[in-house]
Amino acid sequence: MLDSDLAEIYGYETKNFNRQVKNNAKKFEGDEFMFLFTKTEFEEILRCKNFTSSWGGSRYTPYAFTEQGVYMLMTVLRGDLAIKVL
């Protein structure tokens, strides 16, 4: 799942969601939890109006989380929904 989708599910802004992930980077080391799309992958595969900024382009490529990564998110997020799911 993409970072923006998970942020919406758990009630975060994507920026704050990614900040929580970066603050707990050691828990997400390795490809089994998440990976960052390359610019090419993002432009060719995932391009959609939801991923463009107001100035006409995406500022950042999204993170994609594996099933294990989604579970790991529940251990670092502080929101009510994440706590209930855990």
Residue 18 has φ and ψ, to the nearest 5°, of -65, -30
Which helix (H) or strand (E) segment holds residue 11: the answer is: none
pLDDT tens digits in sequence order for the chain, 86 residues long = 999 899 998 888 999 999 989 988 888 888 889 998 888 888 776 665 455 555 555 567 889 999 999 988 888 886 555 555 55
Q: Which residue, among 69, 75, 77, has the nearest Cα to 28 in the 3D structure? A: 69
pLDDT attached to residue 17: 92
Can you give the pLDDT at residue 49? 46
